[in-house]
Amino acid sequence: MNGQVYVAFDLGSFSIKGAIAKVNQEKELEILSIKSINSRAIECGTIVDKEQLINDLELLIKLIEEESGYNVKEAIVSVSGNTVKSINSSTRSRIKDNSDLKIDEEIVSKLLSQCSDLQISAGRHVVHNISRGYIIDDSPLIRNAIGCVGEIIQARSHVIHVQDFNLNQIKTCFDDDFSIEVDAVFDGLASAYANISEDDKDLGVIFVDIGSDKTNVVIYKDRYIMHSKVIPLGSHSVTKDLATMFNVAIDDAEEVKRKHVSALSKLADISSNFELSINGDTLKKQLNQKEVSEVAEARFKDIIDRVRNEIRITGEKISEFGSGIKITGGGSNVKNLDLLFKEYLEELESENPDNKDISIKCEYLPIKDITFKENLEDKREYATLVGLLKWPILNVEDDNPLIGIKKSFTENFSNIWKGFFE
């Protein structure tokens, strides 16, 4: 693996990012180049201006190739937005002759393939099919069924799928225009895999990646993925609220959000006033830190409400997730957002008499386990890009039934062993 080069592209709504990295002699992921350029060619995961995207990618590829000294031939590319859906699925099979069978990789692959085939309609593509364990006869949940024997086998999986249209546009864009072979990965899953630990997954964790126009939620418990969701609401909604409320330009509102907003408004200084230039005019607009923070807090609470709804879908209480809530993404680059998550969720949960003294863990996730000439630890806007870079390392065997199976792989088994199971 030493010296292996990895390339990733994170296609966002307001910027596209690219990076090239290699595994160095210390077996660390060393980033050789990482770049971000502004782009409005994509909206919530859908390419809305392909010609513009090609122009923007041409510049981005040039920048990372020149800095790294490598030519891009293949890459991991993010797929995201509200066309990404997920579902927990299961399938159950009995051996026809009622005799025990030793379970091998082919049987597991067929079962997992059936999990996705049962649920996914035409016009959609399975991006990930992640095992959630197996029950053999009357056994408890088994993590890896290979080598076990049994008569009745039940497989459970978490299936993440996307519209064919979105995936085809991304792949043809890279292949036809740049001759780059790409593998598409759900950005929320890549970011989660790279940034949360196995202990987090075991104890239970609610991973929240806030972007500009969407928020990814990925939830784990007992090492299994329980739920994933793309919420079509991100930090740009805060920017638009500020622009509308205070009659300023979008770019100015974005600067206000980054520099002056406290997501938990009670921590904002009511005596702190600041000036903002109006469209390059000599006139200045007077704004107050407390006032802008109150507007931002209201919109961030909308996002938190949506995250809470996703947690409730799992049927688990927030307090039962031992590692709490882990927050990342470029949209989380606002002061005290972690504190707002904690205080607001505790307030909502305490409305239930059983949760009166509830305490919820909420924290920002630093970017770790990489080397680069600059410190990227607090650059949460790169969390997805780093996750995409790490994806091939974390998933060395794409056909590993314990991690995830590509649709192209599982399709090879769709007609195998027909008649073997009832």
R_g of the chain, CA atoms, integer Å: 23
SS (H, E, C) 331-384: HHCCECHHHHHHHHHHHHHCCCHHHCCCCCCEEECCCCCEECCCCCCCCHHHHH
Structure tokens, 335: 């002061």
pLDDT tens digits, 314-327: 999 999 999 999 99
pLDDT band at 16 (very low <50, low <70, confident <90, very high): very high
CATH of domain 5-82+165-192+388-393: 3.30.420.40
pLDDT tens digits, 148-204: 998 899 999 999 999 999 899 999 999 998 999 999 999 999 999 999 999 999 999
**CATH 3.40.640.10 given to domain 197-364:** no
pLDDT score for 420: 34
Reduced to 3 states (helix: H, G, I; strand: E, B; else coil), residue 66 is helix
pLDDT score for 76: 96
Correct CATH for 85-162+402-411 of 3.40.50.300, 2.30.30.60, 3.30.1490.110, 3.90.1150.10: 3.30.1490.110
Structure tokens, 241: 């609220």
Structure tokens, 129: 């099919």
Of the chain, the percentage scoring pLDDT greater than 70 comes to 90
What are the residue ranges of CATH 3.30.1490.110 in the chain?
Answer: 85-162+402-411
What are the residue ranges of CATH 3.30.420.40 in the chain?
Answer: 5-82+165-192+388-393, 197-364
User: What mean pLDDT comes out for the span 7-14?
Assistant: 95
Top-confidence residue, 113 or 355: 113
Cα gap 93→85, rounded to integer Å: 26
Reduced to 3 states (helix: H, G, I; strand: E, B; else coil), residue 371 is strand
Of the chain, the percentage scoring pLDDT greater than 90 comes to 74
pLDDT tens digits, 214-234: 999 999 999 999 999 999 999
> Bridge partners of 15?
38
pLDDT band at 280 (very low <50, low <70, confident <90, very high): low
Cα gap 219→310, rounded to integer Å: 9
User: What mean pLDDT comes out for the span 368-393?
Assistant: 93
Which run of H or E residues covers position 295? helix 289-313
Cα–Cα nearest to 395, from 223, 185, 110, 202 = 185
Looking at residue 421, the DSSP 8-state letter turns out to be B
Question: What average pLDDT does the structure give for the chain?
Answer: 88
- Has residue 111 got a pLDDT over 50? yes
User: What mean pLDDT comes out for the span 380-401?
Assistant: 78
Task: Give me the DSSP letters along 222-277.
Answer: TTEEEEEEEES--THHHHHHHHHHHT--HHHHHHHHHHH-BSSGGGS-TT-EEEEE
- Has residue 248 got a pLDDT over 70? yes
